[in-house]
Structure 1
Amino acid sequence: MKDIIVLLLIVGSAYVLIQIMQKKPILPWREPKIKGSYKTEEEEKPVRKISAKNRQKELLRKTEELEKEIDEDISIPFKKMFPEIESFSEHMIKSKGNNFSMVAEVMPVNYFLLDEEEQERVDNIFETWIAQFEYPVRIYLQSRYIDLTEQIEHIESTMGTQENLYHKLEEYGQIMVSNLKAWQNEMPRYEVKRYLIFDIMIPSKDVKVEAEGDFEARLYEKAFTELHRRVMSAQRQLRKSENEVELLTSEGIAEVLYYSFNRKKALKNRFRDVFDKEQMASFITADQSVQKIVSVKGAIEEYERENKEIYTKEEAREENKEIESREELSIK
C-alpha cells in the first residue's frame, strides 16, 4: 500500500513539473493562460459609447493640432529657396549679390483622365523641354486652403441681378450656396499651386552704363530680358501639352509670399481684400456724410490759403532785403 502511495506521489510530482515547464494548466479542464490575454480593471469596465457629435469634435481637435504643427514649418522651404531677399520689383525677386528670380505659374492638365497615348505625349514634351535648357529652373509646389469665396459671391450676385427668377431655381441657388459654405467650413481642404522659378546672377562687370546713376536701371533691364526669354521658351514648349505658363507680376509674387507665411489666416484675411477694400490706402475710404466732406474740404482750403499767405510774406521780405542790399552797395 505504501509503495502505491509513493508511486502516485512520484507520478503526480512529475506531472506537475512537466505541466509547469510546458506552461500549461495543472488541472487539465482549465483553459491555458495566454500572455496578455487577461484584461486589466480599466479594460474590464464597460466601453462608453462616443456620440457622433463628440467624435467629430475630437477629430477637429486632432486636425487643428496637426495643422498647427504643419504651419510652424510651412514657411521654412520658402525661406530656404529665397535667402536674403532685398526687394520685389519689375516682376522679379532681387536677392543679395545681384541675384534675380522670376516666377511663373503652371496650369496643370488632368493627367489621369488622359489615355495612354496622350499621357505619353505629355511626358515627351516635358522631357524635351527639360533637355533643352542649360540654366537653373526650380519647381515650387504650394499647398493652400481651398477658397470658394469668389464663386459664392458670383452666384449670389447673379441671383440678385436676375429679374423674374423662377422660385425653384432661386431655391436651388440658395441651397447650393449654403452647401458650398458648409463644405468649405466642415473640414480643411487643400489645392496645390505649381510654380516654375527661373534664377540668374548678373555680374556687375557685365553691366555697361554711360552714367553712374544708370547702373541699377540697366541691371534690372538685363536681368528681366534674359529671364523673360526663359519664361517665354517654357510657355511655348509646355503649351503643346496644354500646360499654360503665366508670368507672375510683382503683385502675384507678393500673393505667393503672403500665402507662404499666412497659410491659415489667408482663408479669412484674403489677399485680394488688401486691394479690393483698399486696406493699403493712405487716405480714408469709408463712407462719410456731406457735411463731413465739406468741413474737411474747407479745412484743406484754409490750410492752403494760410501757407500761400506765409509764402507771399516770405517772398516780400526777401525782396525788401535784396532792395536794401542794392541801396547799400549804391551808396558805397
Structure 2
Amino acid sequence: MGDIIFLSVMGLALWIVYCLVTKRSIIPFVKKKEDNFPKAETAMKKSGSGKAKNEQHFEETEPDLFEDLLDDVIDVSNHLVHLKNNRFLLFAEVEPCNYFLRSQDEQEGIDSAFESWLATLNYPVQWYIQSRYIDLSEPIDEMRTNMVEASDIPINALEYGKTMLEDLTNWQTSSPRYEAKRYIVFSYEVNLGNIEADSKEERAERIEEKAWSELYRRYNNARSSLRKANMNVQLLTTEGILEVFYHAFNRKKALKFKFKNIRERENLSLYSTADQKQSRVEYVKELIKENEAVQ
C-alpha cells in the first residue's frame, strides 16, 4: 500500500513538471486559457506597420527653391531686380573694414558713423550675407603669368614660385573653405498714382526711372555715410546681381563651373555674336516682339 502511494505522488510530481514545461493545463482534458495580450512579435509587427503608415503619411517633399525664391522676380535688367506689383530691388556690395584690428578710437568712429546712417533710414533695408567657396584661380593665374613674362627672376625664385602655386592649388582643393560676401538690398515700390504716361511702354519706362532715381539716392546715402566708417559700398550691375543668384543656386558647382566662364563664352548675351545675315537678325527681333506681346 505504501508503494502505491509513493508511486502516485511521484507520478503526480512528474505530471506537474511536464505540464509546466509544455505549458499545458495541470488538470487533464481542460484547455489552458490563452493570454489576452498579444505576443511580442505580433505587437512589434503591428507597431512597425503603424509607424510605416505614419511615415508614409507624413512624408516631406523637397521644396521648389526656384519657384519659392524667384516667384516674384520678373526680370533682372538695368542694375535692378524687377518684381511683381511694381517693386524693385537694388544690390550693393559692402567691403569689410577689419573692425577688430582697429584701435579703440577708430572703433568708436565706425560705430558712430554706422549708427548715424541707421538713424536716417525711414525705408526698408535688408542685409544679405552669402558664403562662397574661396576661388584663388585668378590670383594664381596672374602670378603664373608674371613668372612666365619676367625675364630677370633667379632660378631659385622661380622654383619657389612654382612650389608656392602648387601649394595654393592643393590648399584650395584639399578641403572646402569659404568667404563671406556682404550685400545691402534696397527695395522700393512705385506708386502708380504719381505716374502719367500716354502708352504702356512709356508708363513702364517712367516706372523704372522712378524706381531707379529713388533707389540710387538711397544707395548714395549709404555709400557716403558708410565711407566715414571705412566701409566701401559698391553698386552691383546687372551682371553682378546675376552672379549673386548663380552662387546662391549653384554653391558647389560654382567652384568648378565659374560664372566668369559663362560670361567669357557669351552665354549672357541677348543675341548671338556669330556672323549672321541682317535678315536673320531682324527675323529674331520680330519673334521676340511677338512673344512679348503675347505675354
Structure-1-length-normalised TM-score: 0.61
Distance of aligned partners of 1:212 and 1:277 in 2 relative to their CA distance in 1, 3 Å threshold: closer
Residue 163 of structure 1 aligns to which amino acid in structure 2? Answer: S
Residue 86 of structure 2 aligns to which amino acid in structure 1? Answer: N
Counterpart of 2:80 (choices 92, 98, 103) is 92
Post-superposition shift, 1:211? Answer: 4.0
Residue 150 of structure 2 aligns to which amino acid in structure 1? Answer: Q
Distance of aligned partners of 1:253 and 1:207 in 2 relative to their CA distance in 1, 3 Å threshold: same
Tell me the residue number matched to 1:227.
Answer: 215
Distance of aligned partners of 1:212 and 1:263 in 2 relative to their CA distance in 1, 3 Å threshold: closer
Post-superposition shift, 1:212? Answer: 4.2
Post-superposition shift, 1:272? Answer: 0.6
Matches of 1:78 and 1:237 in 2, distance apart?
36
Tell me the residue number matched to 2:101.
Answer: 113
Post-superposition shift, 1:278? Answer: 3.3
Post-superposition shift, 1:76? Answer: 5.6
Q: Does 1:198 align with 2:158?
A: no
- The CA deviation string for residues 61-110 of structure 1, in whole angstroms up to 9 with x for no partner, is xxxxxxxxxxx99x969955x65100001100011100001000001110
Residue 98 of structure 2 aligns to which amino acid in structure 1? Answer: N
User: CA RMSD of the aligned region, Å?
Assistant: 2.7
Q: Does 1:236 align with 2:224?
A: yes
Give the fraction of aligned pairs with identical amino acids, expressed as a percent.
Answer: 38
Tell me the residue number matched to 2:256.
Answer: 268
- The CA deviation string for residues 166-189 of structure 1, in whole angstroms up to 9 with x for no partner, is 101111110110010011011100
Q: Does 1:214 align with 2:202?
A: yes
Counterpart of 2:234 (choices 246, 254, 259) is 246
Tell me the residue number matched to 1:171.
Answer: 159
Matches of 1:160 and 1:109 in 2, distance apart?
35
Q: Does 1:183 align with 2:171?
A: yes
Distance of aligned partners of 1:94 and 1:229 in 2 relative to their CA distance in 1, 3 Å threshold: same
Post-superposition shift, 1:221? Answer: 0.5
Residue 207 of structure 2 aligns to which amino acid in structure 1? Answer: L
Matches of 2:123 and 2:106 in 1, distance apart?
28
Distance of aligned partners of 1:210 and 1:273 in 2 relative to their CA distance in 1, 3 Å threshold: same
Q: Does 1:129 align with 2:114?
A: no
Counterpart of 2:137 (choices 134, 140, 149) is 149
Post-superposition shift, 1:276? Answer: 2.0
Equivalent position SS for 1:241: coil
Q: Does 1:160 align with 2:148?
A: yes
Equivalent position SS for 1:172: helix
- The CA deviation string for residues 236-269 of structure 1, in whole angstroms up to 9 with x for no partner, is 0000111000000110000000000000000000
Equivalent position SS for 1:97: helix
Residue 139 of structure 2 aligns to which amino acid in structure 1? Answer: Q
Structure-2-length-normalised TM-score: 0.68
- The CA deviation string for residues 263-303 of structure 1, in whole angstroms up to 9 with x for no partner, is 00000000011122334566588xxxxxxxxxxx9xx99xx
Contact 1:141 1:195 in 2 (8 A): yes
Contact 1:125 1:241 in 2 (8 A): yes
Distance of aligned partners of 1:114 and 1:77 in 2 relative to their CA distance in 1, 3 Å threshold: farther
Q: How many residues align?
A: 217
Matches of 2:113 and 2:247 in 1, distance apart?
31
Contact 1:90 1:220 in 2 (8 A): no
Distance of aligned partners of 1:109 and 1:189 in 2 relative to their CA distance in 1, 3 Å threshold: same
